[in-house]
Amino acid sequence: MLVVDGMSAGYEDFRALFDVSMSVREGETVAMVGANGAGKSTFLRAVMGQVRLHSGTVHFDGRDISSLKAHERVKLGISLVPEGRRIFPSLTVRENLLIGSFAKRSGPWTVERVVTMFPMLERLLTRSAAKLSGGEQQAIAIGRALLSNPRLVLLDEVSLGLAPVVVKQLYSALPMISGQGATVIVVEQDIHQALAVSDRVYCLLEGRVSLSGEASTVSTSDITAAYFGAAI
Amino acid sequence: MSWLNALVQGVLLGGLYAIFATGLSLAFGVMRFVNLAHGDLAILAGYLVLSTASTMGVNHVVSLPLVVILMAGIGYVGQRFLFNRTIGPDPLAGILCSFGIGVVIQNFLLARYTATDRYLDAGPIETSTIRINDSVSIGHFSLLTFVSAIVLLGALQLFLSHTTIGRAFRATADDPSTAQLMGINDKRIYGFAMAIAFATVGIAGFFLGARETFAPASGPNQLLFGFEAVVIGGLGSLWGTLMGGIVLGVAQAFGNQLSVGWNLLAGHIVFLMVLAFRPNGLFGTGVRT
Amino acid sequence: MTSRVVRVSRSSLIGTGAIALIFVVLGFFPLYGSDRMQVTLVQVLSYLTLAIMWNLLAGYTGLVSVGQQGFIGIAAYALFCLAELNPVDPFLSIPIAALICAAISVPVALLVFRLRGGYFAIGTWVVAEVFRLLTLEINVLGAGNVQSLTTKNAFSGYGLELRKNLVFWSAWTLAVGATLTTIFVLRSRLGLALQAVRDNAEGARGLGIDITRVRLFIWVIVAGWTGATGALIHINSATVTNRDAFSVASWTALVVFIVIIGGVGSTIGPYLGVGVYWIITEQLKQQNTWRFIVLGALAAIIAVVSPKGIAGLLRRWKSFEIFPVTRRLEVGD
């Protein structure tokens, strides 16, 4: 469903990705792991259209979307849960969720369904989103992305800065997402968490793909080598 | 005695300043853009009312809605094709560009219409008054201006808090990059925000022009008043802006009571005092709208 | 492997030399030049000084003020007070006016520094307006009536020829001094601090740079120079009117346009901008309104489309320096 070919992308003075190629089949959950600064977030943002490509293409459902802007890609069914949650402080929790449906795509996701997935949000709906805990904000960010009824969900470092028990709670909701038929790309620093939820895994090292394989069969030593760049 | 009348007139004048301030506030809140041409645009609207009215052979009141729509259109186009390019962390380009445009507008109006004082005619409502008592009377038109300010601010508040687009405005104001992830075209939102701001400027220009004479050089003062109303009121709420306008209006009215011609100075000094002692404004919530 | 910081480059030597030469040649103008041209030059040099200073304030320090006309007006009335109402030499009033403006600029800063960006700009405009309105109230200053500097009082002892030439040399001195001040400031540690703040204000603060003090320092210097130029301008016109002395159009708009067109934040910008101003003023002769429209539209477009102005365009064609104000790291072997 998603085919990335030879992607090179980066920022003003700084190239973050070099010739990255990967693909995701519909319904799959793919993990992308790598150390800090490996380019994982840049990759997701490039797929989303928030980072310009220097070269390479992105195809979604067979269509070349490389030159589409981010808000246009949302309308096609791609949604990103950004690094750092980035919830809107001026909006209430409910408004944060509702704004996710701005693109008016049809589908099963509603505020009620999100609350079913994350029950702790129920009593928070009218509260200002600014003063909540990291875990609550992450739940909102995920729910908000889902409300655009995406076919491809991009999760960027969902576990960052959160306690393990909260992370577990968040990831336990993942089956509800892929269960709807959505394709998911999970970016994670935590390898075990990533392998536990995904079908296939890619590893990025300094902007290049250093490994790709089935989550169930890839060995710890292979992954470690690909992650750090040398056998440890 | 006439101090009470001054108070009443000042409060009503505050309504006019609040309308001015609204456009300035909206542009800043959503786009971090301070439009230094704001006052000149109001004067431009005044002249547009004059011209469209005479061209179409209708009175000024009838041409107001047309001018408001025209202004909104200019605002949208101006934002999308010119001002959108100035958005970013450095406010320099936006300030300088709008300053230049303000000067161009002033001089263009001067060339086209000369420096003769003009006024708009809103009909007999301009001079009819309600006599409260011997020293206090309320002009119907001033009252209409004030009520319009409240209606406008109320409508805008409702728009921001209860509509999907309004929500999109607030989200874009918070975080334009993440707003894109919601499917919001931030460039277009900026255009709409500016269209609304320009529309309010058009309305403000009409009320100003009907209330007192105007000339090409009248713009800058209105910019200063609008800005002072925003700062006195404090950022964060539209109602704070109304209160800021009222404080400014009353300050000017009291200044005039003390000595005719002291109104401008009194207003500016009250503003400087607020800036010195309560820089966050008198009614601000501290959070952006 | 050794490395050193190179402060002077070949192009900056040529550039500085060229500018210096032009100034030296100009310095002798009263001896060989026409009267009409001399009058024009005084105006051009005045605008150059104002532009250099505004560029330092807005381009290098990020303080976009549209209220500098306040200092021009204060200086004008100070000049009137000193030279016409009191027996102070008018040309001595120039540095005195500068000091007065510098002093007044400090409490002004305390107020307006509470604002940022566009709101800061409007705030400076308000302050200028307050000064204008205050001078209307002071009777000894004529309460708004046109005031003249007369040969009886202000210019007693000055023949017309001497007066004209002293006006020219004062304008020349102010322009040269502004140039030297800019070079000096940018080459100093203060200049380094300015560059750091310009690049990354938070990072600069983290390095221990007191941003407020840096900004205040530049603000006061610019206020002083602006005041000096304001006094000179009014010696030249020998008249002080409230509206004109505090005119935002004459003393701020034109200056801002000049700097934008030339290139905000570049050392050569003001010089290029003044050149454009001169050409357009000559072309449009007495049509003040059209001068504002053309320069204003040009500036508005450049501010958005090509923010580095003519200087930026030139730099894209060929990298160069006019003044030795940059620091380059050269890694030798």
Closest CB from B32, B103, B275 relative to C292:
B103
Contact B181 A69 (CB under 8 A): no
Total-model pTM: 0.91
Selected for mutation to probe chain C from B99, B232, B277 (highest C CB count within 10 Å) is: B99
Mean pLDDT to the nearest integer, C237-260: 93
Tokens describing residue C291 = 């001068």
For B69, residues 6+ apart whose C-beta sits below 8 A from its C-beta are: B199
Tokens describing residue C252 = 């701020």
String of DSSP letters for A192-230:
HHHHHH-SEEEEEETTEEEEEEETTT--HHHHHHHHHSS
Q: How far apart are CA B79 and CA B82, in angstroms?
A: 5
Q: How far apart are CA B205 and CA C269, in angstroms?
A: 37
Domain that holds residue B212: 19-219
Residues in chain B: 289
Write out chain B residues lying below 8 Å of A71, CB-based: 180-186
Task: Report the share of chain C in percent with pLDDT over 90.
Answer: 53
pLDDT of C1: 65
Closest CB from C114, C119, C256 relative to B96:
C256
Tokens describing residue C89 = 């030499």
Confidence class of residue B194 from pLDDT cuts 50, 70 and 90?
very high
Main-chain phi, psi angles of A15, to 5 degrees: -90, 125
Q: How far apart are CA B222 and CA C122, in angstroms?
A: 11
pLDDT of C314: 85
Closest CB from B167, B183, B289 relative to A91:
B167
Mean pLDDT to the nearest integer, B136-162: 91
For residue C83, what are the CA distances in angstroms to C74, C80, C229?
A: 14, 5, 16
Q: How far apart are CA B145 and CA B138, in angstroms?
A: 12
Q: Which of residues 165-224 of B touch A (CB under 8 A)?
A: 167-168, 170-171, 173-175, 177-186
Confidence class of residue C195 from pLDDT cuts 50, 70 and 90?
confident
pLDDT of A93: 93
If you average pLDDT over every residue of chain C, what do you get?
Answer: 89
B288, pLDDT greater than 60: no
Q: Is A78 helix (H, G, I), strand (E, B) or coil?
A: strand
SS3 content of chain A, % helix, strand, coil (to 5): 35, 30, 35
Residue-wise pLDDT for B98-132, tens only, equals 999 999 999 999 999 999 999 888 887 777 787 77
Count residue pairs from A and B with Cβ separation < 8 A.
Answer: 68
C16, pLDDT greater than 80: yes
Residue-wise pLDDT for C161-172, tens only, equals 888 999 999 999
Mean pLDDT to the nearest integer, B30-46: 94
Confidence class of residue B289 from pLDDT cuts 50, 70 and 90?
very low
Shortest Cα–Cα distance, B259 to chain C (Å): 11
Closest CB from B173, B182, B183 relative to A90:
B173
pLDDT of C210: 84
Q: Radius of gyration (Cα) for chain B, nearest Å?
A: 19
Tokens describing residue A113 = 């369904």
pLDDT of B286: 52
Q: How far apart are CA A156 and CA C88, in angstroms?
A: 73
String of DSSP letters for A167-201:
HHHHHTTHHHHHHTT-EEEEEES-HHHHHHH-SEE
Four-way CATH pick for A2-228: 3.40.47.10, 3.40.50.300, 1.10.357.10, 3.30.70.890: 3.40.50.300
Mean pLDDT to the nearest integer, B163-179: 93
Number of domains in chain B: 1
Q: How far apart are CA A172 and CA B164, in angstroms?
A: 31
Task: Report the share of chain A in percent with pLDDT over 90.
Answer: 30
Q: Can chain B be said to touch chain C, i.e. do they have 3 or more Cβ pairs within 8 angstroms? A: yes
Confidence class of residue A219 from pLDDT cuts 50, 70 and 90?
confident
Q: Is C123 helix (H, G, I), strand (E, B) or coil?
A: helix
Contact C66 B101 (CB under 8 A): no
pLDDT of A100: 92
Tokens describing residue C327 = 């620091």
Residue-wise pLDDT for A188-213, tens only, equals 888 888 888 888 998 888 888 888 88
Q: How far apart are CA C125 and CA C131, in angstroms?
A: 10
Write out chain A residues lying below 8 Å of B175, CB-based: 86, 88
Closest CB from C122, C133, C304 relative to B85:
C304
**Beta carbons of C131 and B272 less than 8 angstroms apart:** no
Torsion of CA A159, A160, A162, A166, to 10 degrees: -10
In chain B, which ranges are continuous DSSP H helix? 2-31, 38-56, 60-81, 92-113, 140-162, 164-174, 176-180, 186-211, 219-233, 238-258, 263-277
Q: How far apart are CA A153 and CA A159, in angstroms?
A: 16
User: Is B238 in CB contact (< 8 Å) with chain A?
Assistant: no
Tokens describing residue C59 = 């381009």
Closest CB from A82, A90, A100 relative to B174:
A90
Main-chain phi, psi angles of A107, to 5 degrees: 165, -175
Main-chain phi, psi angles of A24, to 5 degrees: -135, 130
Selected for mutation to probe chain B from C122, C242, C257, C302 (highest B CB count within 10 Å) is: C122
**Beta carbons of C258 and C276 less than 8 angstroms apart:** yes
C108, pLDDT greater than 90: yes
User: Is C296 in CB contact (< 8 Å) with chain B?
Assistant: yes
* Subunits with 3+ C-beta pairs closer than 8 A to A: B
Q: How far apart are CA B27 and CA B36, in angstroms?
A: 11
Residue-wise pLDDT for C278-311, tens only, equals 999 888 877 789 999 999 999 999 999 888 889 8
Shortest Cα–Cα distance, B88 to chain A (Å): 15
Q: How far apart are CA C42 and CA C232, in angstroms?
A: 9
